[in-house]
Structures are given as C-alpha cells and as structure tokens.
C-alpha cells in the first residue's frame, strides 16, 4: 500500500502526459485534484491502521542493486507518517489553488504530480541511495517549476541559483552516504541495518567528516545560515504554488534528514558536535527574523521567516544531542517538537505563500507599501492572512504554539542561554507580522498605480478552499494535538535513545 501511495501521482502524471492534446486544461487540473484526494485518503487509512506504540510499519523490500548493497526499502514510523500526511494535504491544497492557472497547464500539473511522488518517496525511503534519488529529483522538478512559471528573467536566475546550491549540497550528502557504506561490514546502504550496527562508533575523525558531509548537504536544503541565500530569490520569483511546495515540503527534506539519518546513524559524532548545531539553529532563528523584519516585499518577508522557523528545528535537534544537564524526557520532547514544527510550518507557510499569490494576482506586486486598507476591499482575504500570520508567530491555539512550546521546554534544560536567545525570534516574528498586517490591511484604502478598485476582488472559491482547510488543520493540531503527538512521541523517544547509546 505504501508503494501505491508513493507512485500513484507519478502514474497519473504518465497518463496525463500520454493523453490526447484535446484533453482540456481544466480536466488536467481536476485529474490532479482527484489523484491528490485519493492519495490523501490512502494516507488516512495508513494512519488509522498505524500502531502508536512505535516502530517501523508498512515496510516493503525489493532487491534493486544487491551487489552494491542498495534495495528498494520503504516504511513509515512516527517521524515520517505525519510528514507524508502533510505532503498529501499540501499538494491537494495546491491542486485546488491551481484551478486558476492558465499557462501550460498540463505540463504544470505533471511537474507537481512528479514532485508529489518524489516528496512522499523521500519521507518513506529506508535506503540511503533511494533517499538520495528522491532528494535529487526534487531539485530537478522544482527547478522547472520556478523557471517555467516564475516571474520572468529573475525567475530563471533564481532557479539556477537554487539548483546549483542544492545540487552541490546533494553531492556532499552522497559523499557522506558513501562514507557510511564503506564503514559498514558487510557494506550496505540500508537505513535500518546501519542504525542497528552503528558502524562509525569510535571512528573519531572519520565519523566527524561523514557528519560534516551529511550535515552540510542537509543544511543547504533546510536552509540554515549561512547557506540560505538561495531561498529568498527562489521564493520571491517562483509561482505561488511552487513557493508553497518549496517551503512546505522541500525544506523539510533537510530537517527530516537530521532526525532520520544524522542523529541515529552518527550518534557519537552528533553528541560531540551538538553545540555546533545549537549555535547554527539560534543564529538562523534570530538572523532570519531580523532580516524578515527589514523586508518591504511581502513574499520575501515570508521566505525569511522560513529560515527563522527551520532554525527552531535545528536548535531542538542540537539540544537533543546534548546529554549533559538534560534528561531523556527533555531530549525526547525536543525531538517531538522538531517534528511537530515541520508539520506546522508546512501547513502555515504553505497557506501564507498561496495567499501571497492572491495578493500578486490582485495588485501585480508584492511590495507592501503599494497597498493600504485592503480589508475594506477584501475582508475574507484579510481574515485568512491575519489568521495565518498570528498562527505563524506561535499564538496559543494553533500548531505553531504546540511545536515551539515543546522545542523550548526540551531545549531549556541543556541549552538555557541558547534557548533564551532564540526566544527573541518570537518577539521579532510578532513585530514583522503585525507590521505587515497593519501596512496591507489597515488605514485608508490604497492600491498600486494602474489597478482599479473594482478589479480587486476577495478570495475566490478555489483560493478559499485551498487555504482555509490548511489553517483549520493547524487550529485542530493546536487545540487537540493528541492525535499527532501519540504518533510522534514514541519515535522521538526512539531517536533520543539511539543518540544516547
């Protein structure tokens, strides 16, 4: 069943690609919506049958390149199942939002179906080479989305920068995977086997170099400071649907790699260099928030908040590797908070980027100072953006509060100073979102030059159906988090135990 979930979108992509040219564009988008809805229904069935006591479930193994120790091995646990569900929810929302797309619609749909398969595939992969294949293919798919549907020449430059940065990171990642493979006896790329054997235990410098390669590759994808500079132009010049998937899904490939690969496979090195990850996380939190505060472009501001929010995840996983001054419960809470933050950020930032697309569609610019008093023209748009902004700054009642509360509580015991500094990120994030809301929606009505007030309409049905359920799900997690925490917490404890061995 897990293989069906993974490759159903790719099958739909192949069918659409081979379909007659006479098939209407609207039918292609509805085919995508149907496929995404079916995939989500299958994931709900997986969730319903998932044993919350923990462990890897729904595993499937097929021989692929046995002489090289490579196999098709997939499965889910409490770390990956919530992310797979988040991927399916976000792609379904993006598919509904794409009902407004008019440019090369069939190709657009096929690229996103391809991206959905590689995204799910990465989160269920239990073989390092399989993980790497999906990791690299996600770069290719997003490159073409930004190039083909972004904002002109700037989009092509941004796509090239995105590709070069992340492809270089993937090469570093592959080098680290080969280092793990060579250390194992017998040689294997299987994640479960490598976790059980811990082949780099006591390897000292060699293990540190492997962690450096893997950590660098994942840091670029996350991204963390200072390898984050590809992110703002890629987001700003991508289409809204592309930005939603880039921020909501592709960034999580980096942070997921830390908890799935770096921590359990390199526990000794992770403990030794945990403080490095803590520092990188805190710098990303504060720097991302401060630079976002300085932006005048609404979409670029939202892009920098992703650096800030992913910094919380890196802080948490770094703190989980610090054994001194902490206990098992605190470290487990930090890992759980990191996973919940990935899910929360995917939902909320995905919604925010779709809403930035609405803003651009109405005014043809992201510059905040070109607008004022939009609430008078578009009250539903203003309400949705306001809810997304308050949820993104960690307001109680939403998923962001649950995630950040666990991260700070779990990190405080071992990294009190770093956690206290990271708290500044919440204050700065609150300031930047409140400033944006005041500029865009309050005051006397003003629109960009040449945009008639009659042409500025409120949220269309497809835009509302795409964004409001994402916010509703974030509210559900914030009010009733138990259904998510019951799945994540056993896996968080397992990772904590592996790091401490």
Interval 30-62: pLDDT, tens:
999 999 999 999 999 999 999 988 789 999 999
Per-residue confidence band for 449, with pLDDT thresholds at 50, 70 and 90: confident
**pLDDT above 90 (res 454):** no
Please write the tens of the pLDDT for every residue from 355-366. Answer: 999 999 999 899
On the CB side of 206, CA atoms within 13 Å amount to 13
Residues 6+ apart with CB under 8 A from 170: 132, 135, 136, 139, 217, 221
Other CB atoms within 10 A of residue 369 CB: 12
The pLDDT value recorded for residue 182 is 94
235/75 Cα distance (integer angstroms): 31
Other CB atoms within 10 A of residue 312 CB: 28
Mean pLDDT, range 398-406, rounded to an integer: 96
Specify the residue for token string 């479960």: 192
398/476 Cα distance (integer angstroms): 7
The pLDDT value recorded for residue 147 is 94
Mean pLDDT, range 416-423, rounded to an integer: 94
In 3D space, the residue among 487, 500, 498, 496 whose CA is nearest the CA of residue 49 turns out to be 487
372, β-bridge pairs: 446
3-state secondary structure of 126: coil
Please write the tens of the pLDDT for every residue from 246-303. Answer: 999 999 999 999 999 999 999 999 999 999 999 999 999 999 999 999 999 999 999 9
**pLDDT above 90 (res 165):** yes
In the chain, the percentage of residues whose pLDDT exceeds 70 is 100
- 94 with 249: CB under 8 angstroms? no
178/189 Cα distance (integer angstroms): 8
DSSP-H helix ranges across 125-250:
128-149, 152-183, 191-197, 205-221, 231-237, 240-245
Specify the residue for token string 């939009």: 374
Per-residue confidence band for 133, with pLDDT thresholds at 50, 70 and 90: very high
275/281 Cα distance (integer angstroms): 10
Per-residue confidence band for 377, with pLDDT thresholds at 50, 70 and 90: confident
Per the omega criterion (within 30 degrees of 0), is the bond before 221 cis? no
302/174 Cα distance (integer angstroms): 31
Mean pLDDT, range 438-447, rounded to an integer: 93
Per-residue confidence band for 203, with pLDDT thresholds at 50, 70 and 90: confident
3-state secondary structure of 367: strand
Residues 6+ apart with CB under 8 A from 263: 270, 317, 320, 321, 495, 498, 499
Lowest-confidence range among 120-134, 227-241, 277-291, 468-482? 227-241
HEC-encoded secondary structure of 48-84? HCCCCCCCCEEEEEEEEEHHHCEEEEEEECCCCHHHH
DSSP code of residue 446: B
Mean pLDDT (the chain, rounded) = 94
Mean pLDDT, range 379-408, rounded to an integer: 95
| β-strand pairing of 70-76 with 57-65 | antiparallel
Cα→Cα distances 90→6, 436, 449, Å: 15, 24, 34
Cα→Cα distances 472→348, 351, 388, 475, Å: 10, 11, 10, 5
**pLDDT above 90 (res 437):** yes
Mean pLDDT, range 230-240, rounded to an integer: 92
Residues 6+ apart with CB under 8 A from 455: 362
Lowest-confidence range among 87-96, 181-190, 325-334? 325-334
312/136 Cα distance (integer angstroms): 25
In 3D space, the residue among 212, 209, 207 whose CA is nearest the CA of residue 194 turns out to be 207
**pLDDT above 90 (res 88):** yes
With b for 16 or more beta-carbon neighbours within 10 A and e for fewer, the 328-359 pattern comes to eebbbbbbbbbbbbbbbbbbbbbbbbbbbbbb
- 93 with 346: CB under 8 angstroms? no
96/81 Cα distance (integer angstroms): 23
The pLDDT value recorded for residue 401 is 96
């Amino acid at each position: 069943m897990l293989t069906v979930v993974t490759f159903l979108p790719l099958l739909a992509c192949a069918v659409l690609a081979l379909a007659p040219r006479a098939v209407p564009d609207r039918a292609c988008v509805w085919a995508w919506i149907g496929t995404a809805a079916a995939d989500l229904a299958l994931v709900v069935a997986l969730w319903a049958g998932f044993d919350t006591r923990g462990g890897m479930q729904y595993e499937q193994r097929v021989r692929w390149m046995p002489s090289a120790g490579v196999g098709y091995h997939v499965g889910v646990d409490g770390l990956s199942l919530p992310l797979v569900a988040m991927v399916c929810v976000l792609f379904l929302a993006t598919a509904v939002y794409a009902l407004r797309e008019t440019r090369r619609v069939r190709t657009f749909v096929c690229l996103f179906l391809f991206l959905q398969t590689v995204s799910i595939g990465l989160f269920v992969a239990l073989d390092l080479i399989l993980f790497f294949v999906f990791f690299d293919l996600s770069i290719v798919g997003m490159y073409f989305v930004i190039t083909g549907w972004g904002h002109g020449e700037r989009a092509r430059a941004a796509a090239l920068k995105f590709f070069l940065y992340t492809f270089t990171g993937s090469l570093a990642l592959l080098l680290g995977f080969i280092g793990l493979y060579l250390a194992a006896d017998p040689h294997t790329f299987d994640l479960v086997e490598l976790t059980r054997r811990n082949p780099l235990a006591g390897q000292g410098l060699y293990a540190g170099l492997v962690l450096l390669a893997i950590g660098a590759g994942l840091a670029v994808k996350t991204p963390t400071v200072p390898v984050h500079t590809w992110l703002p132009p890629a987001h700003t010049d991508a289409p809204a649907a592309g930005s939603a998937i880039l921020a909501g899904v592709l960034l999580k490939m980096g942070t997921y790699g830390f908890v799935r690969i770096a921590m359990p496979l390199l526990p000794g090195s992770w403990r030794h260099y945990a403080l490095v990850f803590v520092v990188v996380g805190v710098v990303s939190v504060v720097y991302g928030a401060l630079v976002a505060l300085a932006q005048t472009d609404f979409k670029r501001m939202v892009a920098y908040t992703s650096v800030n929010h992913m910094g919380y995840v890196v802080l948490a996983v770094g703190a989980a590797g610090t054994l001194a001054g902490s206990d098992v419960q605190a470290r487990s809470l930090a890992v759980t908070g990191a996973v919940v933050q990935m899910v929360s950020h995917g939902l909320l930032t995905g919604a925010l980027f779709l809403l930035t697309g609405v803003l651009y569609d109405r005014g043809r610019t992201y510059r905040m100072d070109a607008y004022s008093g939009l609430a008078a023209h578009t009250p539903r748009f203003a309400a949705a953006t306001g809810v997304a902004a308050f949820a993104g700054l960690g307001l109680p009642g939403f998923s962001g509060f649950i995630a950040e509360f666990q991260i700070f509580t779990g990190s405080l015991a071992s990294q009190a100073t770093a956690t206290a500094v990271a708290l500044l990120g919440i204050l700065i994030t609150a300031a930047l979102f409140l400033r944006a809301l005041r500029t865009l929606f309050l005051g006397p009505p003003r629109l960009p030059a040449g945009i008639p007030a009659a042409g500025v309409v409120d949220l269309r049905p497809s835009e509302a159906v795409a964004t409001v359920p994402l916010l509703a799900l974030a509210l559900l997690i914030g009010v009733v988090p138990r259904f998510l925490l019951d799945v994540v917490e056993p896996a968080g404890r397992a990772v904590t135990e592996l790091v401490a061995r």
